[in-house]
Amino acid sequence: MHPHPRIAAIDLGSNSFHMLIAKATTRGYRIITRHRQKVRLADGLTPDLTLDDAAIERGIECLKDFAQRLAHYQPLQIRCVATATLRKAHNRKQILKRFERALGSPIDIISGMTEAGLIYQGATLELARPDSAMLVLDIGGASTEVIAGVGTEPHVLKSLDMGCVVWQNRFFAGGMISAARFAAAVAAAAEQIRPLATTYQAHGWQTVCGASGTFRGLQDCLRHYRADAMSAEFIRFCMEESIKQGSVDALPAIGVREDRIAVFCGGLAILVALTDNLDIKTVDLAQGALREGLVNTMLNERKRSLA
């Protein structure tokens, strides 16, 4: 058995598909390459929860590309997981067969709780001290994970039925931005968060970190405005500035990258509701997310098998 094998972790998210290929080392792992492709799977989820052909084809094309990259790097172990959109899709069995054929590897549709645990693990690998109380937020395309823990151990895990793609389509259809649309989006997110507030606040945290594209989008805004921190005030400021633009197409004016504008307001509305209802003061950008958690899990399983 190779002492330092290459391993691949693939995350089929509702907004983006991610692939991370890493090499095991004596201290953990070293990332060889990572790839991300906007597939926007959740865009294809119809009202009757069937995933449409266009979204399926976008997924297949991405997975064919991933398969070519896997053939080049030849990892010893590959693990691929799918999240909220495929959890919801009534035609997931047929989709899974086609996706597995395109990738050439098995795909697991994981539960919201499993997803939350992997996200927490990936987000806290670099940030956490053993005694540090953490809150991790991940605003995906069709679900939002909120996880409180200590160090790298999650204690309270929730996967909420809302995400940046779903919220964008529901509240910002046609790319129009207004105060009324944001108010409705924030209120709908708050309905899901409010019942959990006491539980999370009782746990407490010293650090809050965000592990998804919404937070990377806000990091771009921070640089644009030369602001110091992703504070609750700055997050609300970005909402007000987005409203002033009036249209998704104008969001680059506040620092949002072109590849993030399509779902930025949906994610931002959810984040405003999170900061308001959980009384979050500031958010750090996490260094890892689900795929890093997946790599770490694979390495731990390998260590146990070699012990």
Give the mean model confidence (pLDDT) for residues 89-107: 97
Q: What is the pTM of this model?
A: 0.93
Query: What does the DSSP 8-state code read for residue 39?
Result: -
Q: What is the pLDDT of residue 258?
A: 94
Q: What is the pLDDT of residue 131?
A: 81
d(CA 122, CA 51): 29
Give the mean model confidence (pLDDT) for residues 23-33: 88
CATH class given for the domain over 128-285? alpha beta
How many DSSP H helices and E strands does the chain contain? 11, 11
pLDDT tens track for 104-125: 999 999 999 999 999 999 998 8
d(CA 276, CA 263): 21
Please determine, for residue 22, whether its predicted confidence score (pLDDT) is greater than 90.
Answer: yes
Q: Is 175 exposed, middle or buried (0-12, 13-18, 19+ CB in 10 A)?
A: middle
Residue 110 or 287, more confident: 110
Query: What does the DSSP 8-state code read for residue 303?
Result: H
d(CA 46, CA 58): 16
Name the pLDDT band for 307 (thresholds 50, 70, 90).
low
11 membership: H or E segment, kind and range:
strand 6-12
pLDDT tens track for 46-73: 999 999 999 999 999 999 999 999 999 9
**Contact in structure between 48 and 90 (CB atoms under 8 Å):** yes
Extents of the domains making up the chain: 6-110, 128-285
Mean pLDDT for all residues in the chain? 94
Q: At the topology level of CATH, where does 6-110 sit?
A: Nucleotidyltransferase; domain 5 (3.30.420)
d(CA 164, CA 246): 18
Q: What is the pLDDT of residue 27?
A: 78
Q: What is the pLDDT of residue 136?
A: 96
Equal CATH topology for 6-110 and 128-285: yes
